[in-house]
A and B are shown apart, each in its own frame.
Chain A
Amino acid sequence: QQPVQSPQAVILREGEDAVINCSSSKALYSVHWYRQKHGEAPVFLMILLKGGEQKGHEKISASFNEKKQQSSLYLTASQLSYSGTYFCGTDKSPGGSRLTFGEGTQLTVNP
Chain B
Amino acid sequence: DVKVTQSSRYLVKRTGEKVFLECVQDMDHENMFWYRQDPGLGLRLIYFSYDVKMKEKGDIPEGYSVSREKKERFSLILESASTNQTSMYLCASTNPGGAYEQYFGPGTRLTVT
Interface residues of A (CB under 8 A from B): 2, 5, 30, 32, 34, 40-44, 47, 87, 89, 94-104
Contacts and interface: CB of A to CB of B under 8 A. Distances in A.
Nearest to A40: B106
Interface of B: 4, 31, 35, 40-45, 48, 50, 56, 58-59, 90, 94, 96-97, 100-107
Nearest to A5: B42
Contacts of B96: 95-97
A93 to B, nearest CB: 11
B97 A95 contact: yes
Interface secondary structure of A, over-half rule: loop
Contacts of B106: 40-41
A104 B42 CA distance: 6
B41 A103 contact: yes
Task: Across the A-B interface, give the 7 residue pairs with the lowest CB-CB distance, nearest first.
Answer: A96-B100, A41-B104, A103-B42, A101-B43, A44-B101, A101-B42, A104-B42
